Structure 1
Amino acid sequence: MKRWEKRPEGSNWGDFGADDQLGRVNLLTREQVLKGVREVQLGQTFCLSLPLDLPGGMALNPRRKPPQLSGTQRDGVSYMNFPMENLDPSSIDVLSDDQVLMSLQYSTQWDALAHVGAYFDVDGSGTAQKVYYNGYAAGRDILGPDNIPDHDDGCCGSGGHAMGALKLGVENFAVKGMQGRGVLVDFTRHFGRSRQLVGYQELAAVLEKDKVQVEAGDMLVLRTGFAEVVTEMAGQPDAQELHRVCSVLDGADEQLLNWITDSGIATICADNYAVEAYPAREREGRKSLLPLHHHCLFKLGLPLAELWYLKDLAEALHAQGRNRFLLTAPPLRLPGAVGSPVTPIATI
């Protein structure tokens, strides 16, 4: 079925196919992977993930809970340091087997394209509907608490869970691989940890000063220092302080949004929370509170990543006068999820 008669202004809906679920991730081609591989000179790797129990607590987002580890259980018995002789007297084995309950976007993460949609009049009827990238619809393709599937296609659990992304789920990125050439832009070296709203003019100035070239298909990686502040708070984040520190993109800057479109970048990965300032600068009329999310996820199908740890990579690249590297960052292949933890690896 055709999902839309008209698409949002400035969007690329349909450009990668009527049923596309990858958006700009389609630009992570074999050629882009090879470009990333050619940046490897030392064979040195960097983990770009925070420990997944950071930021700590729920001060930054009261919806998202930190991970809770526990042993798996059978008949009420926890399988941590479990003596297998309980099952077979001849066994000398001791078994530990665990499970985790956590918010998928609590720490270092990817946003799936099902993470942020908008009200838009896709059929020209004059009535706006809840839709996501490429016209996939809330209630049909992305299920909420009011939607109970009448079938079990394996996406949302064998019990037919009432919520989940039948389309645009994060598993699409996992299958694609999320590997290519990363390009680091280090705002910290220019702005320190002061609160700096970064629009196109500020970004362009940093790119010029640092001789950073960004090309179509690149994975843009932004260091602001935010994740470093989070780390220093050691699991006890001061939410008020964190909202006052470090650089953040100005999602209300139309020139910046146009640059994102024209640059052809495949993704934006940042070390801060939300990538852009929230709420955005005040504008007139009905609007998105997260205009960069709206532009990237909803219009372009360009995934965003948050809370990456970039200090060690940035320092190593700076010491060599480089800003490009091989980036490998697949999310969990968890069908139906609208976000995922990730352990990105940079290789230089």
Structure 2
Amino acid sequence: MSEPNDLPSNWGRWGADDELGTLNLITDEVRERAAREVRTGRSVSLAVPIQPAPVLSGPFPPRTAEESPVQQLMLYTGSPAIAYADALTVTNHHPLSTHLDALAHIPQDGQVYPGRPANESVTMGGVVHGSTTAFAEGIVTRGILLDFGADGPVPADRALTAQDLEAAEERFNVHVEPGDALVARFGWVQTRYSGNPMPGMSLDATRWMHDRGVSLYAGDLSDAYPPVCSPPAMHGVALPRLGMPLIDAVDADELASVCAELGRYSFLFVAAPPRILGLTGVPVNPVAVW
């Protein structure tokens, strides 16, 4: 597959030193609009629960997609113990961990957003540009759910297009506006990452997100497998070229159920990851509030 020459980009849009990317689109006015979505106080989490694996012989990264992304080492204080504590080893970019990708996670042609040399931005001592430092204040905006799996899982051979996104808007009576977080449900939360083909977004859909001003993407899937385009639409274009943070491995099933029950597919979207700086990604518990 040859790479298209008309890929959208935000490089230079907010300056050569920018680390927020499309989070720049979340203005005070956008947050105020988002706050108006809260009328009942009902909320749900979009994160996949994680069961830590006990560390028995020393920490090591998971060797398969089925192994827990978190290892737990229990620490005891005193005898008898007067307190208990634990140390965790976390693998951030793991298919069983709902996590927020920083902009330096994926380089393009030796550069990370917005055109900074990758070897100067990501070092053995941590990430010095495009890291999780940009998420330190948390993310608060309006969320929009487009439930493509409402009638059953999206077929494995589908790459969703701009037409699919607009059809979902019409079906669920929502309209994605600049600064909104887009939550996409393919209906694959139980069967993804099993080595089988999976659907995902097309480059056409990514261009649509750019035109609409999507600030953040969260989905139970993002890029199709095997790849249907080069570079991949979300991790190859949206993240490194648009500077759009991605929340991978979302579980949007309960979100979809509540949206259908309330008849409302827009909500206050809050993502407050641990305030750990200088990482390529970080576990996160996104929350929707109506």
TM-score normalised to the size of structure 2? 0.86
Aligned length: 273
SS of structure 1 residue aligned to 2:275: coil
Q: Is the 8 A contact 1:84 1:95 kept in 2?
A: no
Q: Aligned ranges for residues 56-205 of structure 1 at < 5 Å? A: 58-60=63-65, 66-72=69-75, 79=76, 82-83=77-78, 94-106=82-94, 107-119=97-109, 130-143=110-123, 162-175=124-137, 177-192=138-153, 194-195=155-156, 196-205=158-167
Bigger Rg, which one: 1
Q: Deviations over 1:157-212 (max 9, x none)?
A: xxxxx24211111121123x211100011111144354233122222222222222
Q: Is the 8 A contact 1:215 1:265 kept in 2?
A: yes
1:222 is matched with 184
Whole-angstrom CA distance in 1 between matches of 2:174 and 2:193: 33
Q: Aligned ranges for residues 1-348 of structure 1 at < 5 Å? A: 10-53=8-51, 58-60=63-65, 66-72=69-75, 79=76, 82-83=77-78, 94-106=82-94, 107-119=97-109, 130-143=110-123, 162-175=124-137, 177-192=138-153, 194-195=155-156, 196-227=158-189, 229=190, 239-240=194-195, 243-244=196-197, 247-250=199-202, 253=203, 255-272=204-221, 275-281=222-228, 287-288=230-231, 290-348=232-290
Residues 238 and 183 of structure 1: CA distance in aligned 2, closer, same or farther (over 3 Å)? closer
2:57 is matched with none
Structure 2 unaligned blocks of 5 or more: 1-5, 53-61
| 1:266 CA drift (Å) | 0.3
Residues 142 and 238 of structure 1: CA distance in aligned 2, closer, same or farther (over 3 Å)? closer
Q: Deviations over 1:1-27 (max 9, x none)?
A: xxxxxxx96312222123111111111
| 1:341 CA drift (Å) | 0.4
TM-score normalised to the size of structure 1? 0.72
Residues 83 and 45 of structure 1: CA distance in aligned 2, closer, same or farther (over 3 Å)? same
Whole-angstrom CA distance in 2 between matches of 1:256 and 1:342: 25
Identity level (%): 31
